[in-house]
Structure 1
Amino acid sequence: MESYLEPHQARRREPTQYESLLGDAIERAYALGFDDLGALVRYLNETGPGPQDGMEWTESVFEKEMARLAAD
């Protein structure tokens, strides 16, 4: 039997509006060619959404937010 990935097999719940907006923004950034962390962070600061703590994105803030979201 051939293995395949079910797109949402690891999801425990529906994404929040913030998670959906952030995911969409990250996808747009990659589509525009922003494929390194510094460029991605600059793009997110220009277009949003911002981090949930109300601060600006930094590389460190982005990495911590991705780890937090992955743990949910």
Structure 2
Amino acid sequence: MTDRYLEPHQARKRNPTTYEDLLGDAIERAFGAGIHDLPGLVQSLNDSGLASPSGKPWTEEVYRQEIAILSEQP
């Protein structure tokens, strides 16, 4: 029997946007720097220079809303 595994892009219906790539990169850099809490992640996003969708500084609420929106997209 063949082991089943998740192909990371199997459910993707489109390529990520430039914004999504940049956000993912910024989150990965934060995790790579040892940041694993939401306040630290939000601060790291603000320090990275990547603007939130509204152009305002990232907050925990803005981050939660944006990730919820992105996770619902096809």
Please, what TM-score do these two structures have when normalized by structure 1? 0.95
2:69 matched residue in structure 1:
68
Structure 2: runs of 5+ lacking an equivalent: none
* Whole-angstrom distance in 2 between the partners of 1:38 and 1:4: 33
Over aligned residue pairs, what C-alpha RMSD do you find? 0.8
Q: Find the structure with the greater CA-based Rg.
A: 2
The 2-side partners of 1:53 and 1:12 are apart by 25
* Other-structure match for 1:2: 3
Q: Percent identity?
A: 53
Structure number with the bigger relative contact order (C-alpha 8 A, sep ≥ 6) is: 2
Give, in angstroms, the shift of residue 9 of structure 1.
1.1
Any idea what the Cα deviations from partners look like across 1:24-70, whole Å, max 9, x if unmatched? 00000000011000000000001131111111100000000000001
Where does the alignment leave 5 or more consecutive residues of structure 1 unmatched?
none
The runs of at least 4 aligned residues of structure 1 exceeding 4 Å deviation read none
Q: Please state if 1:38 is matched with 2:35.
A: no
